[in-house]
Structures are given as structure tokens and as C-alpha cells.
Chains A and B, each alone.
Chain A
Amino acid sequence: MPSWRYIFLRERFPADHESYVRNRYPIALGGIAVKRIFRVPVAVVISVCLLLFIGSTQDTAGQTARTFRMMAGEPSSLDPNLVTDFSTYLIVQLFEPMYILRTDGSLQMLGARSVSTSADGLTWTFRLNPAYKWSDGQPVTAADYEFSWKRDLDPKVGGTVSVFLLDIKNASEFNSGKITDPSQVGVTAVDNYTLRVTLAHPAPQFRAVVGLPYLQPVPKLVVQKWGDKWTDPSHIVSNGPYKLTSWQHDKQIVLDANPYYGGTKPSIKHAVISITSTDPCVAQLRAFEANEIDFATCVPPQEISRVMKDPKLGAELKRLPMSGTVWVQFDNSRAPWNDVRVRQALAMVVDRKAIVDAITQGTATVAPVLVAKDIPGNNPVDALHGSVAQAKQLLAAAGFPDGKGFPKFTIMASAARSQKQIAELLQQMWSDKLGVSSQVSVLEENAYRAWIKARNTEPYEAVIEQWYSDYADPQDWYDLVWAKDYRNIHYSDPAFTKLVDQGEAELSAQKRVALFRQANAILEKDQPCIALYYPADLWLFKPYVTGLHIDQGTLNLYYIASAHFTK
């Protein structure tokens, strides 16, 4: 043994044998042999463990069948006038709009009884349903809607919702501060249950916009009384199926059924939404597998194949296609991207199925055309088809035989949404089949958005982007994405723009769709962006929960109010 161990040599040998034995041999503590010196620490450790064990029996997740449990990220706000991000998913449990647009275009009336338009399309009259009340018992009146929609536009409030109401007369002037009197905005409460809206120009898409969660009403008197703090659990009142019982920030949100709700009373009376601040998909899958939540809204990409193959989880998985497209876009104002032959050649060699399988394990749908499936005007027949040989010919005709002389370009991608992997697959496809070389550059999500915004004036080459429908109307796609250039694609074709402008103003539904279909044909021929896939939401339900998803068109919202437990 090391030389300094002598300090531990025991020299004291007691005279009687018994004390020697007692000193020498360990003391038993609860059947475990420990030396005397460790008596106290071991006792402490054992009692702490017991305490923890007792404590743990008290917090097994309260599993009464009546509580609906789920998980979400912390909402930035529960004020419908302020936000258009994922907080909307929680806001729609508390508030309700005038109606919801179904997939087939019909209206499911909720807060309103009827809607009518004048012949010139400029005046819209909404008659409200008097059965609807706030969760404090007060009726929902047209004054509440008028107040909310004007608050949506108020520059001092700074809500992102304002962009959806700019078709209303004097709305953009009020929002930009050119006029400061809100009474000039074209929203008026004619009487307690009638709301009249005057538009600045005919806008058929307004019908779809009114059904959006962003146009839900807020209680005028409550907001005026409490100001910014009106969403605190002690002040907030809502007109939807649930009311907010408590909101412990970053911990959990508790909802209870609204006793004054004017629609069909929900079957689930009590819901607890736990808040996660990490990747919500990973946290939800773990909690779902541990039976701590009843419903999960996404599956992490790396676990999709395991979940699908698992017999239990696979049966609980539900795939919901989203109304949106992921694509790769080019700067159409610069060479060589301004040459349609170059874009068509690159489009023809993209193997979309390989991308869908690699990135989403087959849960997404291959996108033959750019515009989402459920948007009128979409026509998969217009899809561009071609073989690798044809693509090579086009590229040669454009001046780059076998890819020689084609400048090496950068494909920009965000660090989120597997965009880096998509870019790498495209890089490989283009290099293998056409001899065109590129490099992939990745940006952090927030910096990526700032970079895209700066592409308004700055040049770029290629970037992976996407667009999701805000509402089920062709104007949201053809006009905003390509005519108004919200994604800075810089595509301009006079025939296309003319068709889109005509379609926007056209009041007859059939003629409108026909115009947008013609625009679709031009778009697909020109290929300003190459469509890749239509993503899909993956939900997990416990077998005893049904009815969460209702037919409500473009946004894959879930409504706890329409779900029920089947035990």
C-alpha cells in the first residue's frame, strides 16, 4: 500500500474481546452493514429517498378521464388582435369567429347568423347570432366586432393581424397613421346585432378572410377597462367554447367550459395544456408514449419511421395534409435565372419522390404544381414534365452544354424544417444529372427571415422557401406570392399579372376560377420556382379520443370543443 497509508493503522486494541469485536465489525443499519462513521450520512440519504418517494406518489399526473391533456409552446399572447403565429392554435379554443369556411367552400355559421353582399361587392352586412355571450354573461354585440376590427388596425396596438383587413375602406390609411380617426374606417355597428363593412375595392377573398381566427372579436368593455393586461386569467373573457381558468407562464394553461357559450356545448369540460419550451415535437412524443398527454400535434422527423412501424403508435398516428407548398425559388431578375429554359431544365431533373421519402419518410405529398391542392385555380394537368435528355437539351440551348460555363451558385437554406437536407439533395441531383455545381449555405431561422426580406433589393441565386395558405382563396397565392412578390422571387410576366388582376376583381365565382386557371398554366410553364412537396401534419391521438379535427379547410386547427372521450 502507498507509504502514507500508515495514518490509518489502528493501534488501539481494547482489553476485552467484546469491545474489540464491536469496534472491528460493521454496524448493521436496517440490514445493511455500514461502518460506524457512515451511520449518519446513510440514515440521511435513506430518509431523503423516502421523502422523495412519498412526494412522488402525490404527483402522478392526475388521470381522471374528464381532463383533456395536451402540450404546446408558450403562446406569445392570447389576444386575437395581436398575433398570427402558433399562439392562434390556443386562441381558437377560447374565441370564435363569425363563421368557418369548410373545405367545399360552404360556411359553417357560428357567431353570425347570415352574411350578405351588395351587388357591387363593396358592402357586406353581417347579422350576428344573439345566442352568443361572453364568458361573463354579457352578449357579444356588433360593437364588440367593430371595436376589435378597428383595434386590429390601430397602429398603437401594433398587431400583425392588420394585414388581413386592408381591403376595408380607409383601413391602410388608418393603419399607417395617415388618418387618426377610427370612425372613418369602413366598419360600423348598425345596431346591436348587425355589422356593416364597406370595402375600398371589390375583394371576393374577404369572404374567406372573415372566417379566419384573426378576425375573432374581443370584449370591448373589458379591453377598454384593463388595457394590455386584459388577457390575464382574472380579467379575460372569451366568446368561444372555453374560458381561461389559469395561465402559469411557461408551465401550463387550464381551460374550463364556457357556461355562456352560444354554440354546441363541448363534451370535454376541462383541459390542461402543458407548456414546453424545447422542441415541441420531441417533448410531445415522449409525453405521449408515457401516457401523460392524450394528443400530440407533431412527430419529430427522425422518429417518424419508428412511430409508423410501431403497431400501437402507428395506429394512433393521423396524417393531415397541409395547404402549403415547399419549393426552391430563384432570383428571376438575374442571369442565368431569368432564362426560362434554365429553370425548366433544373425543374425536369428534380426527383420529388426521393425528396419526400428522404425528408418526410413519405408522409408529405409530391407537388406536381406550385399552388396547393385545395386552392381554386390549382390544376395538376399544367405540371411540367420532361426527361433528363430534354433537360440537357434545354440547358444546351440556353448556352450551357453539359453544364459547362454554368456559374457555381449558392442555395440558401434555413437551419429549421430540414431545409438543409433538401438543399443538399437538390445540389446532388443537379450535379449528377446536369453537371451543374452549387454549394449549400445555412442560416439561423431569424437571420434567414431577415435575409429573405433583404432580397427585395439584394441579389441572390437560389433559396428553399415555402408558402402556406392564409385562407382558401386563389388571391392568397397568385396575387401575394407572385404578383405582389411577397417572397422576393422577382417574377414578372405581363399576361400573368393581367389575369391575376382581373381574377381579383371578378365577382362571379366561376369566371374567377377560370381566370386563375389560365394564370396557373402560365405559371407552370414559366417555373419561377420549382415545386417540391406539400407538407403534412402528423397528429397522434390516444384511442379514447375522437373528433378533434373538424372540416375547416386550410389551417389545420384543432378544436378541443369538438372532441370527446370514448371510454
Chain B
Amino acid sequence: MGRYIGRRILATLPTLLIVYTVVFFVAHSTPGSPWDIGTNRPLDPQVQANLNARYHLNDPLAKQYVSYLWNALHGDFGPSYRERSLTVDDLVREFLPVSLQIGACAVAVAVVFGLVLGGLAALHHGSWLDSAVTLATTVGISLPTYAFVSILIVVLGVRLRLVPTFGWNGLLSSTVIVPVASLALAPMAAFARYFRSSMLEIAGMDYLRTARAKGLGGFAIVSRHMARNALIPVLTIAAVYAANIMVGSFFVESIAGIPGFGRYFVLAVQARDYPVIIGSTLIYAVFVVVMNLFVDIGYAVLDPRIRSEIRS
């Protein structure tokens, strides 16, 4: 198992290099420069030349590519052009933990509520509960995150004054409600749907009948025999959602005023802040890779057939 994980990690390095190359060249070929934002006058060519020289943007692209990669391998992802007193490392250190906290909380909420709802819907197949859950999950998947965040803030914050309309005061304050609820909605709906349909697929299987004949009660059968099999497709999509959510959502963080890392994906592109664009994309790529690895390990944990396949 350990060798399997080791081989998987090694195999991700070429992927990360390709991601870096693509992002680097796409970012640098986008029209527009990092410097003339928000000013009335067009940027004086001399000022532009001074700034480009200071940040080495006049060097040939290949040289910038290699030098950035070399620095990145030593942990230095460069300065931010948009916030002149910060570096990418400062941004990651200050803001990624907030996004991770919110993301992990949202994933946990989505998993718990999604599985419970999906399971209940499957077990009460054909009843009003099943229809209600199906309807709710359709709404949950189709409602865009930014719409839901705005609705929550206006209803809970402005009208009912239950939560502040912006800001982040930690996980144990009321500011956690809006971001976690809006981030968890779509994955919760998706998990419920997937779990419900795979439970229904498994429900008619013969081994359930055997378990019942052996004397196992209802809940034991559901948790030990049905759920473990039904979880496999859910685990697959859970990885995708988890990577997406944990690295921070631009909409939720911007609209709810959360100081997280997800905002920088869009803010950096708008500002042509190349180091932050490349740094944040690489972090996201690492997340995706790590989540995929967890999924594979999860398969091995859940399904003994896969476990023996890996061992051989």
C-alpha cells in the first residue's frame, strides 16, 4: 500500500509541471498589463518601463519561466503586483487557512446531511419523503452559489439581522452560517442524489436477503452492507467537490466578505497578478491531486476487492 501511494505521488509531478507551463503562458499572453488599474490617466510609458524592470517583466519569457520555476521549487512564489506589500507566500499563509476551515466544515456538513437525506429517501422510496428530497436536490444542484449567498445575506443579514452581512469571526461565530450553508448546498444535493440512486440499485441484491436470514436487523444491514457499496460513486464525486470547495470559492468569499484564498483566483486574473495566478493555480492542482489520491485510498478501504488488487 505504501509503495502504491509513493508511485502515485511521483506520477503527479509531470502533471503539475504541465499545469504550471500552461498557466504561465496563458497568463502572460492575456492582453493587458498589471499596472494601469484604477487610474484616470493612461500609464506613463516611463512608469511602465520602471515597473516592468523592477519585476523583471522585460526579460524573455523563457527566462521568466525558468526563474519562476526555480524560485517556486525553493518555496518562493513571488510578490503580488496587486498588493504591493505582500508576497504570494503571505497570501497563502494568511488566507488559505480560512478557506480550508470553511471548506472542510462545508464538506462535512454536505457529507452528513447529504448521506442522511439520500439514505432516507432511498429507504422510503415512493413516499412523500422521497419526492421532497428529489425536489430539494434538484433545486440545490441548479441554484447558483452566488445567488444563494446573496439570498442568505439579504434574508438572514439585512432583513432578519441574525448574522452580520460581511466578515469572518472564526468557526464558532454566526459568520460561519452563510458561507458554510451556501458552499454545502450543491454538494449536499449531489451526494444525496448519488447515494439515493446507488442505494436503490443495491436494494434488490440477494446478499441482503442472506443477511436478513442470518438475523441482522434493519439498521445493521443498511450501514454494513448497503451503505459501504453505495458509497463508492459518492466518494468519487466527493473528491471533485472537496477540492473545489476547500481551496475557496470566489463568489462566496467575495459576496460574504470572507478573507479567504478563493477570491484571489479571480482578483488576480483581473489584475493580471501573474505570480498569484500561477501560485494559486498550482495550489489548486495540488489539492486536486491529493483529493484524487484520497479517493483511491478510500476505495481500497471500502472495497476489499480493490484492496487485494492493489496488493498484487
B203, A290: Cβ atoms closer than 8 Å: no
Q: Does B107 contact A (CB under 8 A)?
A: no
Contacts of A453 on B, CB cut-off 8 Å?
Answer: 36, 42-43
Which residues from A are CB-within-8-Å of B167?
251, 274
Query: What chain B residues lie within 8 Å of A61 (beta carbons)?
Result: 164
B104-129 with Cβ < 8 A to chain A: 123, 125-126
Q: Which of A52, A162, A447 contacts B174 (CB 8 A)?
A: A52
Q: Produce 1/0 per residue, B162-176, CB < 8 A to A.
A: 111111111011111
The chain B residue with its CB closest to the CB of A175 is B46
Q: Which residues of B contact A276 (CB under 8 A)?
A: 166, 254, 257
What 1/0 mask marks residues of chain A from 416 to 432 whose CB sits below 8 Å from any chain B CB?
A: 00000000000000000
Neighbouring A residues of B161 by C-beta, 8 Å: 290
In the assembled complex, A59 has its CB within 8 A of some CB on chain B: yes
Inter-subunit contact A251/B166 (CB<8 Å): no
B309 interface residue per 8 A CB criterion: no
- Bound together, the chains give a CA A279 to CA B86 distance in angstroms of 22
Q: Quick check: is A106 within 8 A (CB to CB) of the other chain? A: no
Cβ 8 A contact of B47, one of A162, A229, A451: A162
A170 CA to B43 CA in the complex, in Å? 20
CB neighbours of B30 from chain A (8 A): 447
Supposing A59-B173, A277-B267 touch, asked if A447 and B31 sit within 8 A by C-beta, the answer is yes
Given A37-B219, A249-B94, is A292 in contact with B254 using a C-beta cutoff of 8 Å?
Answer: no
Which A residues are in CB contact (< 8 Å) with B157? 286, 290
Asked if A4 and B204 make an inter-chain contact with CB atoms under 8 angstroms apart, the answer reads: yes
Give Cα A84–Cα B208 distance, bound, in whole angstroms. 71
- How many positions in chain B have a CB within 8 Å of any CB in the partner chain? 72
Which of A77, A86, A480 lies in contact with B84, CB distance below 8 A? Answer: A77
Q: Are A277 and B253 in contact (CB under 8 A)?
A: yes
Residues from chain A with Cβ under 8 Å of B203 in the complex: 2, 4
Q: Is B33 an interface residue (CB 8 A)?
A: yes
For residue B216, which residue of chain A has the nearest CB?
Answer: A7
> Within 8 Å CB of A85, what residues of B?
37-39
Q: Does A250 contact B (CB under 8 A)?
A: yes
B31 and A2 contact, CB distance less than 8 A: no
Q: How many residues in A have their beta carbons less than 8 Å from beta carbons of B?
A: 77
Is B1 located at the chain interface by the 8 A CB criterion?
no
Residues of chain B within 8 A of A249, CB atoms compared:
83, 86, 90, 94, 259
| CB < 8 Å neighbour of B41 from A283, A324, A486 | A486
A155-B54 Cα distance, complex, nearest whole Å: 9
**A interface with B by C-beta (< 8 Å):** 1-10, 37, 51-53, 55-56, 58-59, 61, 71, 74, 76-77, 79, 82-86, 155-160, 162-163, 172, 175-176, 228-229, 231-232, 248-251, 274-279, 282-283, 286-287, 289-290, 292, 324, 444-447, 449-453, 467-468, 470, 480, 486-487
28 CB contacts below 8 A, A to B, read: A2-B125, A4-B203, A4-B208, A52-B176, A55-B170, A77-B85, A84-B39, A158-B47, A159-B47, A162-B44, A228-B85, A248-B259, A249-B83, A249-B90, A274-B167, A275-B257, A276-B166, A276-B254, A276-B257, A277-B254, A290-B164, A444-B32, A446-B33, A446-B271, A449-B32, A450-B31, A453-B42, A468-B40
Q: Which residues of B contact A (CB under 8 A)?
A: 30-33, 35-44, 46-47, 50-51, 53-54, 82-86, 90, 94-95, 123, 125-126, 153-154, 157-158, 161-170, 172-177, 203-204, 208-209, 211-212, 216, 218-219, 221-222, 253-255, 257, 259, 263, 267, 270-272
